[in-house]
Amino acid sequence: MAEERSELNEMNTTQTDHEYGASEIQVLEGLEAVRKRPGMYIGSTSSSGLHHLVYEIVDNAIDEALAGYCDHITVEILEGDAIRVTDNGRGVPVDIQAQTGRPALEVVYTVLHAGGKFGGGGYKVSGGLHGVGGSVVNALSEWMEVRVHKNGQIYEVKFSRGNMTQEMTVIGTTDKTGTEVVFKPDPEMFDDTVYDYETLHRRMREQAFLNAGVHIFIADRRTGREAEESMHYEGGIREFVTFINQNKTPLHEQVIYMAGSRDDSMAEIAMQYCEDSYNEIIVSFANNVHTPEGGMHEEGLKRALTNVLNAYGKKAGIFKGEEKVSGDDCREGLTCVISVKLTEAQFEGQTKAKLGNSEMRTLVNAVVSDKLEQFLDENPAVGKAILEKALMANRAREAARKARENIRRKNALEGSTLPGKLSDCNERDPALTEIYIVEGDSAGGSAKQGRDSRFQAILPLWGKMLNVEKARADKIYGNDKLQPVITALGAGLGEDFDESKLRYHKVIIMADADVDGSHIRTLLLTFFFRFMRPLIERGYVYAAVPPLFKLVRGKTTRVAFSEEERDAISKEMRGGNPNVKVDISRFKGLGEMDYEELWETTMDPERRTLKRITMEDAVKADAIFNLLMGEKVEPRREYIERNAFKAVNLDY
């Protein structure tokens, strides 16, 4: 029977007059569709899609935890970049389903959207971006094995590229219950099949914060990369806030926690202000899915926060006369995590990362209005500190506006002069021009010599950049490191940003693949994200991708952008003869390349690679920046050192 089924899975779809039932044809079409258009199911076939496979599987275990049957989840990266996910839940059901006549365990992996269709007892709230499950991962895996511990027995089923290669078989006995899934992503379906431990670790930590009490263990078992981490937070999103604020000084010790529910939905909010931050960090989730573009739950929070703080300022006699504070004032220095759970989440926006359900605005607004007022009444010292901070923000914003007006007036009188360090290009049409923002003096020199001055401008940056976190808009306006960037781009910043004045339609960050380079990239991206966001939203910002290796054989020189490419080129240059000598060296930085090399590998539009910066990249940079820019210096150093190498690909 197993063989017949795999034959069925491979048969041509036109062959319909067959002895198998219609439901099985459905099975075939389902998984073929996934392999034909994988992007529809997992977003993309890049690294992000590859990691998405793991989230899809883990989401099932999280569902089991939310249903109250599981409290330990293990995620392992195995040798060869296979993934194993194990939980101690009830185990996927193994009984025969009436509709298909097959064990549920087989159906889960062969029918699209089969997950959650049976049983029906669980409260299904978790779910990946696209709400698909084990069958999609199965379809995109070179092989996959599932073992279920249940009823004292171990059941096993195996697949290859979505086709069942071993039907459900009892392979032993057990005294435990749970589900184990092992899969190897199909190299035919993905650009790259190497997993990044930090990416998975970050996501699992997030899930551990969002699902208080669940133990999540993650391990990298690949030789030379061994790592592991155990995560478990009884405090849930309260501890998430503490984690985000770890390098900052809280304005009040206790994290404010608010929760409430209505019908089938619930909302939890945790927040804390920091005295040494002027930045707003709101991290929101719907059904455990991150919503970096915000949405209705964030709107509910903002509305309630502004109303409650204004009412309290008046009531507690903190405001003088007609004083009041704006929404922005109320969020300066705020770190807030919102998590809502609802039955039919609607994800909207460009990246489907924005929550559209308006009932969540009502719910979060109600919870915060009610609980925050109560908290402030019970903790007047905290109330006073928060209101005073908001008032300070209000005054600073006034001062900043005046400073901006002064500068505008000055510019109108004198005409704005371009920065002295800028080597501008000849072309004037922004659609045809690009600017390289280059780290370091020597690299700046080579870039200037190597460029095509008809359309490429160079702006070198050096020295430590301003700590954007601590600086308000007024300080940034006058800062001598960022000022040249602002004037060279010519479009202003903040509320005054005017895209039509942008002087270059490609803004290219060119920095080394080392710690300092990643620092500069993070700073610039964070700066653009906070003060020139349309620049990123409209796709004007790029990262240059300099090569990592240089290979020389006699008079022939080639470069490689990765270790894999280096090895391939080296083999090619030797032409199969191991005795041929190819000299391989590593570029330690941009400064080591002469101007011709820099032009050929990194700047020539015909030959270079540019990576367009997405909002997702910028959001990540912003988050890293927050982590890096706290008061305490040591954790920051360690963090940069640990991640410096990865920052090469902006893969934070």
- Token code pair at residue 345: 């989440």
d(CA 62, CA 50): 19
- Around Cβ 95, how many Cβ atoms within 10 Å? 11
Q: Is 164 helix (H, G, I), strand (E, B) or coil?
A: strand
Cβ atoms of 221 and 77 within 8 Å: the answer is yes
String of contacts with ligand TSJ for each residue 41-70, x by CB under 6 A: ----------------x--xx--x------
Residue for token digits 């910066």? 613
Closest distance between ligand TSJ and the C-beta of residue 89, in Å? 4
Stretch that binds ligand TSJ, among 114-122, 241-249, 282-290, 543-551 (CB under 6 A): 114-122
Element holding 215 (H helix, E strand): strand 215-220
Residue for token digits 């908290």? 375
Show the CA angle centred on residue 590, arms to residues 534 and 592, nearest 5°: 170
Near ligand TSJ by CB under 6 A: residue from 128, 133, 292, 492 = 133
Near ligand TSJ by CB under 6 A: residue from 2, 32, 93, 537 = 93
Note the Cα 589 to chain centre separation in Å. Answer: 27
Q: Which lies closer to ligand TSJ via its Cβ, residue 184 or residue 475? A: 184
Note the Cα 28 to chain centre separation in Å. Answer: 33
Q: Which lies closer to ligand TSJ via its Cβ, residue 104 or residue 502? A: 104
d(CA 585, CA 84): 37
Closest distance between ligand TSJ and the C-beta of residue 366, in Å? 32
Q: Which lies closer to ligand TSJ via its Cβ, residue 208 or residue 304? A: 208
- Token code pair at residue 397: 């914003």
- Around Cβ 503, how many Cβ atoms within 10 Å? 19
Q: Which residues of 397-434 are buried (b: 16+ CB within 10 A; e: fewer)?
A: beebeebbeebeeeeeeeeeeeeeebbbbebeebeebb
Q: Which lies closer to ligand TSJ via its Cβ, residue 100 or residue 284? A: 100
Q: Which residues pair with 559 in a beta bridge?
A: 550
d(CA 30, CA 15): 16
434 forms part of the interface with ligand TSJ (CB under 6 A): no
Q: How many residues are listed for the chain in this entry? A: 652
Q: Which lies closer to ligand TSJ via its Cβ, residue 145 or residue 439? A: 145
- The catalytic site residues sit at 439, 512, 514, 516
Q: Which lies closer to ligand TSJ via its Cβ, residue 35 or residue 314? A: 35
Q: Which residues pair with 159 in a beta bridge?
A: 144, 164
Near ligand TSJ by CB under 6 A: residue from 9, 100, 110, 179 = 179
291 forms part of the interface with ligand TSJ (CB under 6 A): no
Closest distance between ligand TSJ and the C-beta of residue 118, in Å? 6
- Token code pair at residue 8: 């069925």
85 forms part of the interface with ligand TSJ (CB under 6 A): yes
Closest distance between ligand TSJ and the C-beta of residue 333, in Å? 40
Q: Which of 253, 336, 248, 352 is nearest to 299 (CA)?
A: 336
The site that binds ligand TSJ (CB under 6 A) totals a number of residues, namely 19
Near ligand TSJ by CB under 6 A: residue from 122, 327, 349, 490 = 122
Note the Cα 296 to chain centre separation in Å. Answer: 20
Q: Which of 262, 264, 244 is nearest to 300 (CA)?
A: 262
Closest distance between ligand TSJ and the C-beta of residue 187, in Å? 21
469 forms part of the interface with ligand TSJ (CB under 6 A): no
Cβ atoms of 444 and 458 within 8 Å: the answer is yes
Stretch that binds ligand TSJ, among 87-95, 224-232, 351-359, 520-528 (CB under 6 A): 87-95
Closest distance between ligand TSJ and the C-beta of residue 299, in Å? 33
Near ligand TSJ by CB under 6 A: residue from 108, 318, 355, 387 = 108
> Which residues in the 180-219 window bind ligand TSJ by CB under 6 A?
181
Near ligand TSJ by CB under 6 A: residue from 49, 134, 333, 547 = 134
Q: Which lies closer to ligand TSJ via its Cβ, residue 144 or residue 569? A: 144
- Around Cβ 152, how many Cβ atoms within 10 Å? 10
Closest distance between ligand TSJ and the C-beta of residue 240, in Å? 23
Closest distance between ligand TSJ and the C-beta of residue 64, in Å? 3
Q: Which of 360, 79, 65, 338 is nearest to 204 (CA)?
A: 65
* Residue 218 CA: distances (Å) to CA of 63, 72, 203, 499: 18, 11, 10, 44
Stretch that binds ligand TSJ, among 35-43, 83-91, 247-255, 588-596 (CB under 6 A): 83-91
Q: Which lies closer to ligand TSJ via its Cβ, residue 89 or residue 444? A: 89
Closest distance between ligand TSJ and the C-beta of residue 215, in Å? 14
Residues 6 or more apart whose CB falls under 8 angstroms from that of 43 comprise: 49, 52, 129, 130
Q: Which lies closer to ligand TSJ via its Cβ, residue 85 or residue 364? A: 85
Closest distance between ligand TSJ and the C-beta of residue 209, in Å? 20
Q: Which lies closer to ligand TSJ via its Cβ, residue 145 or residue 329? A: 145
Residues in touch with ligand TSJ (CB under 6 A): 57, 60-61, 64, 85, 87, 89-90, 92-93, 108, 115, 119, 121-122, 133-134, 179, 181
